[in-house]
Structure 1
Amino acid sequence: MWFNSSCTSAKRRRLLGAALLCAFMAAANATAGVADWRALLPQAQALGGGDMTWFGLRIYRATLWSASRPFDAAQPFALQLSYYRSISRERLVRTSIDEIRRLSPAPLPAPTLTRWEALLNTAFVDVADGDELTGVYLPGSGMRLYDRQRLLAEVNDEALARAFFDIWLNPDSRDQRLRQRLIGAQP
């Protein structure tokens, strides 16, 4: 027995209460920081997807999730990227900022780009073959980024969120075929 016979009933209850409190706190700490992006989009379905390639090399598989069909970029959605290759966080940030700059209809102010780069640098992680990152667009607030089901960052900058997802969804995106597949316009 974990207590001796000299323990009173009150002492046993306090010990049991303390043990239960410790167990509860351990369980709460184990789930802290864990979040499921699907809870934000419970009705979401995969609209489409395809591989992003560069000179014939597969970089990642992209899947667009949304509750609205046809796709409506003004509604919440998720873009899931399943990587085939290792890419450093620095390269992901640099490539994202370069594409945001390229797609912008007007030159973006240097302080804005610097702030966005810092936000992405904080939010992104290095990726390897088999990793899965998901970005969830939340109109009116910004985006949340997940590593599988673990919340990496909440970015409360709607302009950055729109510019970031434009990398894949803008009519002038670098891979038009992938864009068409993502939004379900092409099989």
Structure 2
Amino acid sequence: MPTEVAAALPSASFSGSARLSVWGFEVYDAQLWVAPGFQSARYADSAFVLELRYLRDFSRSDIARRSLVEMRRNASIPELQASAWQHLLEQAIPDVKKGDRITGIYQPQTRSARFLTNGRPTGEISDGDFARLFFGIWLSPQTSEPAMRKALLASNP
């Protein structure tokens, strides 16, 4: 278990992992750790940690822009809200290089998304709707990558 996972969620158990490839391009490897009692159908009710290890370089604006596209698969997000969230996400995560790790931590008590890059804190977005929809990119049944969701939730179907 990575140090940042143990620090954020000492009782976590490994749930699953997957690689995202788009049109033959490898994008990142994802790993999910969950708190005891985690239920995939109610993912926003339990603590978890999602780590993405990037396999290529991306700018923060590209990551934020794509995240909003994916978040909109789960809910209608007004343009003004989407723009505000994109800006907050661009502040919370840096540009990434191949091999960089972005770790997203979700705690239901704070209903926020906290981000670490290569183990160092880089930002937090304290908005429950943002956090639920952001992590829904991977954990919601409406994800654009159902096979990835299934692999991430392998131990917690």
Same fold? TM cut 0.5: yes
Matches within 5 A, 1:1-187: 36-68=4-36, 71-72=39-40, 73=43, 74-104=45-75, 107-141=76-110, 142-184=112-154
Deviation at 1:158, TM superposition (A): 1.1
Calculate the TM-score normalised by the size of structure 2. 0.88
Q: Do the aligned partners of residues 69 and 182 (structure 1) sit closer, same or farther apart at CA in structure 2, a change above 3 Å counting?
A: farther
Is the 2:17–2:30 Cα contact (8 Å) retained in structure 1? yes
Question: How big is each residue's C-alpha offset from its partner over 1:136-157, in whole Å with a ceiling of 9 and x where there is no partner?
Answer: 0111421110012101112111
Is the 1:71–1:183 Cα contact (8 Å) retained in structure 2? no
Runs of 4+ displaced beyond 2 Å = 35-38, 67-72
Is the 2:73–2:143 Cα contact (8 Å) retained in structure 1? no
**C-alpha distance in structure 1 between counterparts of 2:57 and 2:37, whole Å:** 33
**C-alpha distance in structure 1 between counterparts of 2:146 and 2:4, whole Å:** 30
Q: Give the letter for the 1:61 counterpart.
A: D
Calculate the TM-score normalised by the size of structure 1. 0.75
Percent identity over the alignment is: 33
Deviation at 1:37, TM superposition (A): 4.6
RMSD of aligned alpha carbons: 1.8
Q: Do the aligned partners of residues 78 and 175 (structure 1) sit closer, same or farther apart at CA in structure 2, a change above 3 Å counting?
A: same
Q: Secondary structure at the match of 2:131?
A: helix
**C-alpha distance in structure 2 between counterparts of 1:89 and 1:59, whole Å:** 14
Q: Secondary structure at the match of 1:171?
A: coil
Larger strand fraction of residues:
2
Q: Secondary structure at the match of 1:92?
A: helix
Computing the radius of gyration from Cα coordinates, the structure with the larger value is: 1
Q: Give the letter for the 2:59 counterpart.
A: S
**Equivalenced residues, count:** 150
